[in-house]
Amino acid sequence: MDAVRPRTAASGPRRRRALIVTAALTAGADLALWAAAPGAFRELPPAYWMMAALAVVADARPHPLPGRRVSRVILPSICFTFAIVLAWGFVPALAVQLVAVTVAGARMRHAVPRSVHLALQHAAGLGAASVVAGLVSWRIGARPDLRDAALTCAAAGAWMAARHAVAALVRRWTSERRTRHRRRARADLLGTAALLLLAPVLLVAAQVSPALLPLSLLALHAVHRMVRWAGESERATRVDPLTGLPNRRALQSTMSERGPDRQRALILLDLDRFRTVNDALGHGAGDRLLARVADRLTAAVPRHDLVVRLGGDEFAVLATRVEGAASARRIAEHLTEALSRPFPMDGTPVELTASIGIALQSGRRDGATLLREAETAMYEAKERGDQVAVHGPDAAHASPERLALLADLRAALRAEPPGDGIELYYQPQIAIATGEVLGVEALLRWRHPRRGLVGPEELLRVAEPTPVMRLLTARVLDEVVAQLADWRRRGRPLRAAVNVSARDLHAGDIADRVGGLLRDYEVPADLLQLEITESALMTDPHRVLDTITRLDRMGVAISLDDFGTGFSSLQHLRRLPLAEVKIDRSFVLGMADDRGDAAIVRSVIGLAESLGLRAVAEGVEDEVTWRLLAAAGCHAAQGWFHARPMPAAELAGWLARHRPVRPGVLRGPWIPAK
């Protein structure tokens, strides 16, 4: 697939008709020139006719540049026609240029409007150069000097300015989108200047002997190679080599170029369970599948929209003609329908689904913001189990207050040195049977400079749907492992549990980060425990399983947090390398008064016992609940009944004062009040 192929090229019968019409227009224009100024063609020297023939031959191999506009082409004939305009005037040069443009248009399969557009540009350039030469009554002779060199540069500058002025006017009249690519502009400018400034050399050669002129084709070949190399280099930096689609850099460039005159939507797709294809069929089959996904997405969107491969199994569609969230949703649903058809792979039909996030343009937000919002919406879709989610001004996470808080958090995490008010508190976990401290859970607090203390729930609600969550997790892991090393040096080793999000597990590099921290601080892996939620498992179980399996093999224990509030819990308990389950506080708080909550707590404890897992109860706030958990056989508990979360310095004093106390076990059957 060619991501930079011209999309308005004629084909088949249309191409032949375009060639006939263009040739007829060219012949008519040349006859009109001959009739209007017959004297301009009288007594032209052999050098003119030699240059005319070489101009036509040279344009059989034009130099296209990356891009879709007709102006993105360099005609080799301009060195000959520019030389003709300097030596013999505008009319003879224009006659040759029209024929050369026709040949180039036929070679590039241009439609009639594109060929006419190209002819207008070059006619304007020749006219401007002729005006500059005429103002000083100047023609390059057999013995050029510095004055001739300066005037040649002036005429070449006028040629390029006039050509691009015509191109800009045509784009404005036809509402063609403007693009500004600096690398493309440099290639265009350098190639055009090289050809135009070759003109006086050709004239000098013609004065010596016209037989030397064909040697100029070698110089033209060098220019052709230079322009082609520039185009290939540009394409390589902007095109994904596997699928042929534009890459992330091309998307960011395109989003920064297009103005806010029309609403657009960025639709980000992440393939679900793609890793299973690589595991089952091999990476070669996975690569072929990605290429077929790219083809299907390209076929499913209008030609004016941009399909991009961001990397891995992530794709994006930049829809440029949307009327709001409903319109963008319809495009996303059309994409999911296109992907829902099985992909035949070596005789095996492969089913694929995708989680899709949509971000809508609002004002003059930059492309990076739009991409970040689409990624946030995509993760929301994964977490909710939906296929499509829209990031918009009505979303709770998009409120101005929350966005401001997120910006402050990002700045605080990147502050050097850290003095941002982000603190870790530690809450002890107590063994119910013995009353001993088994470990602690690290809990996040943020003292905002204006809002005061921001609790962990609000902090995670703001950060988790965004890439800031990974910065936050990295900061917490670094501080917790450093604290574990300090406790170990002081002779009081403790196990610490850290919560990680779905975004951290999907990234895949968290295992490498944890392993590196444990090595750097010389902390045994069994002193660190990571807590994951069922919602993290639901988004992409296969990717999460691969990550936590690596962590388990390192010796890091995995705890399933908020057990009972998600879905497919039994499947997770059976398949995942877990060490414990944490009973959600919503069940523990009500177990003394609600028969249903009590039954759920007892069932979870029994299930964990049968699977060889620890059961830890959260939210234990009174002695009655503590005793009831002991009666049910729960292994450990944490809550305000024993200790509130506290900074590391206060925890040391609490540990010194703590005396293990076994709870009195309730005798006989226990029935809640209601």
Question: What DSSP string runs through 478-515?
Answer: HHHHHHHHHHHHTT---EEEEE--HHHHHHS-HHHHHH
User: Which pair of tokens denotes residue 329?
Assistant: 């949703």
At 325 the pLDDT is 81
**Domain co-membership, 345 together with 271:** yes
pLDDT at 228 over 80: no
**Residue 424 lies inside a defined structural domain of this protein:** no
pLDDT at 667 over 60: no
**Domain co-membership, 279 together with 214:** no
**Residue 408 lies inside a defined structural domain of this protein:** no
**Residue 6 lies inside a defined structural domain of this protein:** no
Give the pLDDT confidence of 153-174 residue by residue, as tens digits.
Answer: 888 888 888 888 887 787 666 5
Q: At what angle do helices 248-257 and 367-384 cross, to 10 degrees?
A: 120
**Pair 468, 504: CB distance under 8 Å:** no
Question: What DSSP string runs through 432-479?
Answer: TTT--EEEEEEEEEEEETTTEEEPHHHHHHHHTTSTHHHHHHHHHHHH
Over range 349-359, report the average pLDDT.
87
Least confident of 92-96, 381-385, 464-468: 381-385
**Domain co-membership, 322 together with 213:** no
Longest CA–CA span in the chain (Å) reads 124
Over range 354-381, report the average pLDDT.
79
**Residue 600 lies inside a defined structural domain of this protein:** yes
**Domain co-membership, 353 together with 384:** yes
**Domain co-membership, 210 together with 265:** no
* Strand partners for 360: 265
pLDDT at 410 over 50: yes
Helix (H) or strand (E) holding 606: helix 595-610
Residue ending a domain, choose from 172, 206, 238 = 238
Q: How large a percentage of the chain has pLDDT more than 70?
A: 77
**Residue 438 lies inside a defined structural domain of this protein:** no
- The rounded distance, in Å, linking the Cα atoms of 274 and 70 is 40
pLDDT at 142 over 60: no
Mean pLDDT of the chain: 79
At 572 the pLDDT is 63
**Residue 28 lies inside a defined structural domain of this protein:** yes
Helix (H) or strand (E) holding 388: strand 388-391
Residue ending a domain, choose from 238, 265, 283 = 238
pLDDT at 141 over 60: no
**Residue 649 lies inside a defined structural domain of this protein:** no
User: Which pair of tokens denotes residue 471?
Assistant: 């910065």
CATH of the domain at 387: 3.30.70.270
At 462 the pLDDT is 78
Over range 216-245, report the average pLDDT.
73
**Domain co-membership, 529 together with 587:** yes
**Domain co-membership, 253 together with 216:** no
State the amino acid at position 348 in one-letter form: T
CATH of the domain at 627: 3.20.20.450
pLDDT bucket at 9, cuts 50 / 70 / 90: very low
At 524 the pLDDT is 95
At 565 the pLDDT is 62
Residue ending a domain, choose from 208, 238, 268 = 238
**Domain co-membership, 255 together with 225:** no
Residues near 596 by Cβ (< 8 Å), separated by ≥ 6? Answer: none
**Pair 337, 388: CB distance under 8 Å:** no
Over range 23-42, report the average pLDDT.
68
**Domain co-membership, 372 together with 228:** no
**Domain co-membership, 280 together with 381:** yes
DSSP-derived letter for residue 131 is H
**Pair 400, 597: CB distance under 8 Å:** no
pLDDT bucket at 230, cuts 50 / 70 / 90: low
Neighbours of 180 (CB within 10 A): 9
State the amino acid at position 551 in one-letter form: L
**Pair 628, 591: CB distance under 8 Å:** yes
State the amino acid at position 613 in one-letter form: L
pLDDT at 148 over 90: no
**Domain co-membership, 158 together with 116:** yes
**Residue 321 lies inside a defined structural domain of this protein:** yes
Tally the C-alpha atoms within 13 A of residue 576's C-alpha that lie toward its C-beta. Answer: 31
Question: What DSSP string runs through 56-122?
Answer: HHHTTS-EE-SSSSTTSEE-TTHHHHHHHHHHH-HHHHHHHHHHHHHHHHHHHT--HHHHHHHHHHH
**Domain co-membership, 233 together with 253:** no
pLDDT at 670 over 50: no
pLDDT at 263 over 80: no
State the amino acid at position 553 in one-letter form: R
How many domains, in total, are found in the chain?
Answer: 3
Domain span holding position 257: 248-398
* Strand partners for 447: 453
Q: How large a percentage of the chain has pLDDT more than 90?
A: 19
At 522 the pLDDT is 94
